[in-house]
Structure 1
């Protein structure tokens, strides 16, 4: 890591960027109430308000710009009105759509103006008032984002950063032409989701969608590998800049996940030079975000695994490893198309999701596997069951716990998310907010403490049924 990046990292760790944060914005609830805005319209107004309230900040040594200056997310309903709005419905965690991964390749390929053109075309043929309201909110969200990017470009000119002004004048409005433009586009659009109350927004299969741009830069001589890794390291550091404002169990537990490796949708090997570069960059950066996930299979190059284990030794809690040989067939068995299954990433932690297509609620709760084992062992032995009978009882208890969790989410209510919908597949063309569902809409249930449950069952099998030491 060079001196510029070391200085930047120390400034970040010391919290120097927090000096530009300022107080809350105007009373948004009162504005929305006075105008009689719907929930969808209020979310769009929130996006506009947050973007307009941000003040551009570009440090003299930055190549990837965005520093959050408005730390809070204002309420759009009073507590009383929100309770009335959601009465009798189940809210997931803190409420807003979260734990999903946008279609970042579409953003880089089309730009927000391209997404806006799709929305405008859909608006003309919208079948009902709800669709028209959603598309209007989506367009307002796009325009607010572009206005903020435009102010950042102007600020760059004002402070003599014509290099940054040129990039910010182009992205995220237009398709990214270079690796640098891709990083800047993602940084800004990703941050806005958090600014308006969404959280745990994944970065998807980064080495798959960013590599073609980087490869073109390297071939054209616009970048060297060293210069690209420097940009990559700065991008990674930028994701830690505002993480103290993000919700999570602990700082850093915020779902800024990034997937590397794995097969492409056509089944060919997707590992490329950027896969290795990301791991090398994180070895130097050594910060908690982004969380690196690595897809592996029986054919994974040992050199890649060795590089990943060097990062594991840093003690950051990643990479997390996902085995394609297991995950892809399991997803297909659960109803995912083979092409989509091959394109899986992870949501906030390790739950599998299809980027741009999944509106799954991946963590509605956990099944206690030790409870299932304990219940099965006690009742099964009392009833004189053989070991297979005990296993059937455990399976039945797991099914019961799962049904209870799923039943508790039958009345799930997800608030509108017009901004995130802009970044998802098919929402604009269908005129449907992502909160109403994507291509995949499954619930995810965790199995807690499997080792403890397995140990208990194995002990009973050996001591009671095999060695007959205990009766």
Structure 2
């Protein structure tokens, strides 16, 4: 089904959303250095601070001093960089490849980024500060020597794990919308006040609680910057309808995400602010929205019944959200890009599935918001967000048919996750029945429980299978370098039958799997030591209760 045919079935975005979409699709992606410069200043000026507090201060300073703008077409505000589709540099994660590739970004055969000479110089100016101090530097140095050899020879690659922060998770958006960040701040302050600081373990917890307070206030101030900007634009806006929209944006930003969302419009804006800031705090990808239809539908249906919103207005807000989601961008090293071409962010939205009633019986969870999300994603026809439909034997036939119509649009959405297979597999692994029925897609193909899942590297490295086979058949020696890695049981010239090949492969893959696990475990250890993402941790269940970040086991 061509895009024109899709529009016949699902309709088109409003004219202004279509104009916004065209602007984004035609935008040239530039390398953005604003966050890098601010982060470097903070890491320098606050070098003596505990990591968790330093990370909180860094986020506060970025949100306070980064450029902000409001697009003329938009009803939802918040930007990641100085222009839409620009990709920030996150120097605390890696700087070596950035400097090495500065003059090559705009010459890439794919995933091309542009950069001004002025910004090249800014990055060169801050680079010396980060020598031997980035997550990548410390992760690479921490690899056991034998495992590092596999990395150096290009057999196992884990660059994405040691150049990225928290990702592959969905925070608990539902409670955040209901309570606002002020509630998380209050809980952190209560926990802080109750700590016995004669216990050294509680001193570490106190840093986390103080960091949550800093971040909650920083997010509030960030939203207020947009409120002030919207009001200033409203004062000089000649068009009455747009002036009212800007005034409404200003009012919304005064409320969320610091305070609870009171209606659908505020819920969508609150959701976007937090989703955006999670990706300013850290450059981890696959930060997902979770089961969006489940936590947004109460706001939508309440507004519909009261007349505060129409279906068309809600559809436009969702289209706006998808377009804002598409503005997020990330630049990777060229070696990593070759494994992840297309600048994917894997920001997943999950709809459908099942819910448990009070008596514990499962029922179809499809609701009016499920349908509207499906429709609006089809209208926008973008690569982001990733859309996943949870299907099961009781999924309404008409909803499944509508999802198939979206597939026919030809832009790769939605993916389908089978509840009948996934839920029992979660339960078999010890996940509670309640949580298993609440799973969502995160990233490209992974599944997790929203708000109860932290990012770990397990299974996230890449193994070069052709090279592994070549090494195995050469007796465990890398023919390119001549390096002997292990004893694979003989050279292929001496094999007499196919069983010899299979035995060689079995020994090779077992050896390389052990090295992969070693590398993944090392990455996990260093990530725990070096990347304390405060907002992401605060919005994940039990982190505040335990006084630990996600990586620390919160």
CA distance 1:37–1:217, change in 2 (3 Å): same
Is 1:417 the counterpart of 2:428 in the alignment? no
Mapped to 1, the partners of 2:433 and 2:312 lie a distance apart of 37
Matched residue, 2:413: 318
CA distance 1:11–1:28, change in 2 (3 Å): closer
- How far is 1:399 from its partner? 6.7
Is 1:230 the counterpart of 2:316 in the alignment? yes
Instruction: Decide which of 273, 278, 284 is 1:199's aligned counterpart.
Output: 284
Matched residue, 1:147: 221
Matched residue, 2:21: 9
| Stretches of structure 1 lacking an aligned partner (at least 5 in a row) | 439-471
CA distance 1:380–1:416, change in 2 (3 Å): farther
Mapped to 2, the partners of 1:150 and 1:139 lie a distance apart of 17
How is 1:259-408 mapped onto 2 (pairs within 5 angstroms)? 259-265=350-356, 266=360, 267-361=362-456, 363-365=459-461, 402-408=513-519
CA distance 1:320–1:31, change in 2 (3 Å): closer
- How far is 1:380 from its partner? 13
CA distance 1:67–1:382, change in 2 (3 Å): same
Matched residue, 1:165: 250
- How far is 1:368 from its partner? 8.8
Show CA shifts across 1:215-239 (max 9, x none): 1111111112122111111111111
Matched residue, 2:184: 115
Instruction: Decide which of 221, 224, 236 is 2:307's aligned counterpart.
Output: 221
Show CA shifts across 1:99-144 (max 9, x none): 1111111210111111111111111123511101111122211111
CA distance 1:340–1:80, change in 2 (3 Å): same
Matched residue, 1:461: none
Is the contact made by 1:243 and 1:251 (CA closer than 8 Å) also made in structure 2?
no
CA distance 1:358–1:159, change in 2 (3 Å): same
Is the contact made by 2:350 and 2:440 (CA closer than 8 Å) also made in structure 1?
yes
Matched residue, 2:142: 88
Mapped to 2, the partners of 1:382 and 1:155 lie a distance apart of 74
Is the contact made by 2:79 and 2:276 (CA closer than 8 Å) also made in structure 1?
no
CA distance 1:397–1:351, change in 2 (3 Å): farther
Matched residue, 1:435: 551
CA distance 1:243–1:81, change in 2 (3 Å): closer
CA distance 1:159–1:346, change in 2 (3 Å): same
Show CA shifts across 1:45-96 (max 9, x none): 2201210122331233321112334453453562223477554259824142
CA distance 1:42–1:85, change in 2 (3 Å): farther
Matched residue, 2:261: 176
Is the contact made by 1:108 and 1:175 (CA closer than 8 Å) also made in structure 2?
yes
Is the contact made by 2:353 and 2:366 (CA closer than 8 Å) also made in structure 1?
yes
SS at match of 2:266: helix
Mapped to 1, the partners of 2:284 and 2:188 lie a distance apart of 24
Which of 29-38 and 313-322 deviates more?
A: 29-38
Which of 247-256 and 281-290 deviates more?
A: 247-256
SS at match of 1:122: helix
Mapped to 1, the partners of 2:365 and 2:495 lie a distance apart of 48
Mapped to 2, the partners of 1:194 and 1:146 lie a distance apart of 16
CA distance 1:47–1:274, change in 2 (3 Å): same
Matched residue, 2:73: 61
Mapped to 1, the partners of 2:218 and 2:375 lie a distance apart of 36
- How far is 1:39 from its partner? 2.4
Mapped to 2, the partners of 1:353 and 1:114 lie a distance apart of 25
Mapped to 2, the partners of 1:384 and 1:24 lie a distance apart of 56
RMSD: 3.3
Instruction: Decide which of 166, 188, 191 is 1:97's aligned counterpart.
Output: 166
SS at match of 2:520: coil
Is the contact made by 1:252 and 1:289 (CA closer than 8 Å) also made in structure 2?
no
Matched residue, 2:326: 240
The count of corresponding residues between Structure 1 and Structure 2 is 429
Is 1:32 the counterpart of 2:127 in the alignment? no
CA distance 1:223–1:47, change in 2 (3 Å): same
Mapped to 2, the partners of 1:51 and 1:384 lie a distance apart of 61
Is the contact made by 2:55 and 2:534 (CA closer than 8 Å) also made in structure 1?
yes
Show CA shifts across 1:278-329 (max 9, x none): 1111111101111100100122222112111111122222211000000000
SS at match of 2:258: coil
Mapped to 2, the partners of 1:89 and 1:3 lie a distance apart of 53
CA distance 1:397–1:81, change in 2 (3 Å): closer
Which of 39-48 and 212-221 deviates more?
A: 39-48
- How far is 1:12 from its partner? 2.2
- How far is 1:251 from its partner? 3.6
Q: Normalised by the size of structure 2, how large is the TM-score?
A: 0.70
Is the contact made by 1:353 and 1:360 (CA closer than 8 Å) also made in structure 2?
no
Is the contact made by 2:386 and 2:414 (CA closer than 8 Å) also made in structure 1?
yes
